[in-house]
Structure 1
């Protein structure tokens, strides 16, 4: 399989210094730490991490991942819910699933969904019933080779899922009752990691595709009415995977991920990757640090890319973000004291506010005593 997006996914330290040009983000000091604050996410069994976070508003949000990772153990699913004042764990013992939940998306208390990696004979599809998660059926459930990687929910309550079936990357579309697999992405040897909606009928996906002996970054758009694909040119790099994408317009698309590079011992971190599509070509932008990763990107109320979550290998004492600053990006540090060396997997906007959530784990290695971790920026 090609590149895997996640903690310590890369294998090399080799990246040159950031360019000193207009595109290179400017670093800002700890004076910005008061903007983001750590919010306890208690109750999980170490090692634990939150992979994705989604908010319906100031008083309702969900976060999912895994807990109980130790040695050879694959761990088990972890899900939390925010009630406006605190995170609490959701009991998943009634589910016939023990693997990792990889994504969550919701727009209301009755329109939230989660997906996970295959465990046993099924990749799960879960629906929030207002109090807990329940398993939902879909075509291909339990079928060998079916993977549900990421989920998005539109304002029209339609549910979009990217994954794989029949040996090809493709989308699953449903309304909670009826589900349809759409035509495959017309790219061979592709993996999809994230799906996002710009509008209910404009669907974007990101991931990677085979390229020579490695892989390059993949971004594509699906017309939600016709199901037709527009595949952007590959984002070239040394084993580059795109973990998230944000489209403000067809000629204003940002993609973030990790470039694993070539060579180096196993377990060595990769290099953060930031690229912008201007409607004609991809332009790589220096993210302001050279070793680590970029994991998630979120837009503001106007639909413009606003925040990027990341991990800076060379300065792990606080979380690391990129904040949109005019036409460029500025490096911003998270709060002190929230965790000794936090690793962020995702960032998302809080609808109806100017706020944002981020989620991850308290250290960059998913081994005990690492715990689930969140930060919040009030709007």
Structure 2
């Protein structure tokens, strides 16, 4: 996560998702100012992810730090294919003014550095279809074929330079990247979506929603894709409102979000459990007071769900483990937050947190394990990855 070109004050909720970029040392600001997270992306073909939810089990697991081969930097995204195959991407700080974009691989026992990404990659999001088919997006869009990274140029957009914040794989070798297109800065950015058709990225025509951005994308089927983010307000409107866009195989359409009245709100992450069971999470704010925000799609409409009143409890990602437990993670600064869906009572409850500043979150297919990547809550840019393991 690299710093955004324009940073609002800490008390302003406007464009929070864009501020999910990693805070590198001030001396690096000039080097990464052109860089643009979702940290939830599907692993493998989306259809394989939509498994029936088993009954939720007792929550007896713990978060444990794993050792990473980086002393200083930041890890911005993580994704897993199995308990013995996971990847994380981010930055390794080489000096006060120099860094490398890196990809790490988990083999079931340890993290090792698998590769260095091309210069100026500034990775923000990760989607893994297989060990030979990985997408990373940020200030550039890179593809890993199992041996090397190749930069794949995005299609030109009349609104300006496209900066993708999230990516998800789709059947048939396709992939979707979402973010924003900017003429000058984040302030004039508009939502942008591109489709990799197997040969090139193609710009998608979107409804005109004004200034805004997209921060998450989820693929249910080739004709059922969702993208989430925010629309920026003005002096006569709430400073920010949630944005939900849906692809029906033919066109992108805006779908109404169940926004809280008289509050700013945004969506940062989304995951599909089925065509009629989709979760999206983000934050809402009145003035400088922020809290978690989570909505659910039942196949017909989106509905807001009850979340605890957690200070700085903005959510970034959501996912379901193999035991049926649905968790959402996020937080602001060094105060990470984890919520667990309490289905019988139809509300979100507080749960033990990962103990790191959350950048990326991933479930592990057919496992109760989870991954969170980011930086340590203490220290100066200490890369960290924690794993949730069921103690049973």
Question: Is TM-score (shorter-chain normalized) higher than 0.5?
Answer: yes
Distance change >3 Å, CA 233–CA 294, structure 1 → 2: closer
Q: Tell me the distance in 2 between the aligned counterparts of 1:287 and 1:227.
A: 36
Residue deviations 1:114-140, cap 9 Å, x none? 0013xxxxxx11111214533233433
Q: Identify the residue that residue 82 of structure 1 maps to in structure 2.
A: 106
| Match among 70, 74, 79 for residue 54 of structure 1 | 79
Distance 1:308 1:125, change over 3 A: same
1:330 alignment partner, one of 349, 355, 358: 349
- Tell me the distance in 2 between the aligned counterparts of 1:173 and 1:300: 28
Matched, 1:350 2:364: yes
Normalising by the residue count of structure 1, what TM-score does the alignment of the two structures yield?
0.74
CA distance, structure 1, for counterparts of residue 197 and residue 133 of structure 2: 10
Whether contact under 8 Å (1:254, 1:305) holds in the other structure is no
Q: For 1:177, what is the secondary structure of its paired residue?
A: coil
Q: Distance in 2 between matches of 1:205 and 1:69?
A: 35
- Summarize deviations over 1:247-268 as a string: whole Å, max 9, x none: 44566443212335425xxxxx
Equivalences for residues 3-42 of structure 1 within 5 A: 3-5=15-17, 6=19, 35-42=61-68
Corresponding residue number in structure 1 for 2:52: none
Q: How far is the alpha carbon of 1:333 from its aligned partner?
A: 0.7
For each residue in 1:167-187, what CA deviation from the matched residue of structure 2 results, as whole angstroms up to 9, or x when unmatched? 642321114423321212432
Q: 2:143 maps to which residue?
A: 127
Q: Structure 2: give runs of 5+ residues left out of the alignment.
A: 1-5, 7-13, 23-57, 183-188
Shift of the 227–311 alpha-carbon distance from structure 1 to 2, 3 Å rule, reads: same
The alpha-carbon deviation at position 301 of structure 1 amounts to: 5.3
Q: C-alpha displacement at 1:7, in angstroms?
A: 5.6
Q: Bigger CA drift: 254-263 or 343-352?
A: 254-263
The answer to whether the Cα contact below 8 Å between 2:371 and 2:385 also exists between their aligned partners in 1 is: no
- Contact 2:155 2:194 survives alignment (8 Å): no
CA RMSD of aligned residues (A): 3.5
Cα separation, 1, equivalents of 2:218 and 2:302: 21
Aligned residue for 1:156, secondary structure, equals helix
Partner Cα separation in structure 1 for residue 191 and residue 284 of structure 2: 21
Paired with 1:286 and 1:87, the residues of 2 have a C-alpha distance of 34
Unaligned runs of 5+ in 1: 10-30, 118-123, 264-268, 336-340
Relative to structure 1, the CA distance from residue 139 to residue 270 in structure 2 (aligned partners, 3 Å threshold; closer, same or farther) is same
* Conservation of the 8 A alpha-carbon contact between 1:277 and 1:283: no
State the aligned residue count. Answer: 329
Question: Do the aligned residues in 2 keep the contact of 1:55 with 1:107 (CA within 8 Å)?
Answer: no
Q: Whose helix proportion is higher, 1 or 2?
A: 2
TM-score, normalised to structure 2's length? 0.71
Query: CA contact under 8 A between 1:193 and 1:243: conserved in structure 2?
Result: yes
Q: 1:150 and 1:140 mapped to 2: Cα distance?
A: 18
CA distance in 2, matches of 1:8, 1:170: 18
